[in-house]
Amino acid sequence: MARVLITGSSDGIGLMTGRLLQREGHEVTFHARNEERAADLRGAVPGGAATVVVGDLASLEQTRSLAEQANRIGCHDAVIHNAGIGFHRPARETSEDGHELTFAVNVLAAYVLTALVDRPGRLVYLSSGMHRGGTPSLDDVEWTKRRWNGAQAYSDTKLFDVVLAFAIARRWPDVLSNAVEPGWVATKMGGPSAPDDMEAAPVTQCWLAVSDEAQAKATGGYWYHQVRRDAHAATSDPRLGDHLIDCCASLSGVPLPG
């Protein structure tokens, strides 16, 4: 049995992932943005006895608290960085710390949790096929110079999630670190007309988090439905990975151990 932390798991693919892992006999630490969503989450999990950590990933202070809560539970065998916000934002918004909101939640929070949660054996970062349209530049991650484009901002962050996964794989060879494209499915983010198989959406991240199959013990890979795929060419550039980590460390004030 493995213990797995899943961010953004009060609904959607994250909740499906947690339920699937529970059915397989694993111990799951769920995550909700606030206490109200945590209460709803406990009601949605069979038995109502879900282990839940609470914190808004748009807040660096709450993200640090979330990491502390997770560490008090004990060491997790895997962390699935599932949480994210989508591209349907007509204007640039900022977090309580003043960072562009999409980057703050989708990238910066994932970095902070990677740095602060006791190091697991496996890390899985949720990306998207839209990462291939991302801009591999850190010159304006906060969108203070460019004209706002919500879809582009989302694509950029999903690209950076893959860059982060690969950078961690290089820096921490004792940790299996991978990125997953769950497919375009009919969640609140994906919309009702999304064409991909909803039932398949949580399978690959669960497999990478807990499976003893040889393929699942890979690192530095980009996966779609348990098949390794090529990612954006920039994700293999170690300089971009190093620069992203430096950028996130500077913006958050949290250094990456090791």
Active site residues: 154, 158
Q: How far is CA 9 from the centre of its chain?
A: 11
State how beta strands 222-224 and 227-229 pair. antiparallel
Task: Determine the residue type at 167.
Answer: A
255 DSSP assignment: P
Residue 19 tokens, joined: 């339920």
**Three-point CA angle 115, 170, 179, nearest 5°:** 75
Alpha carbon dihedral 249, 117, 239, 136, in 10-degree steps, equals -80
Alpha carbon distances (Å) from 236 to 77, 132, 244: 26, 13, 13
Residue 49 tokens, joined: 């006895």
Rounded Cα distance, 194 and 23, in Å:
26
Rounded Cα distance, 67 and 117, in Å:
5
Residue 146 tokens, joined: 């460019």
Q: At which residue do the structure tokens 């250094």 appear?
A: 255
Rg (CA), the chain: 17
Rounded Cα distance, 46 and 23, in Å:
10
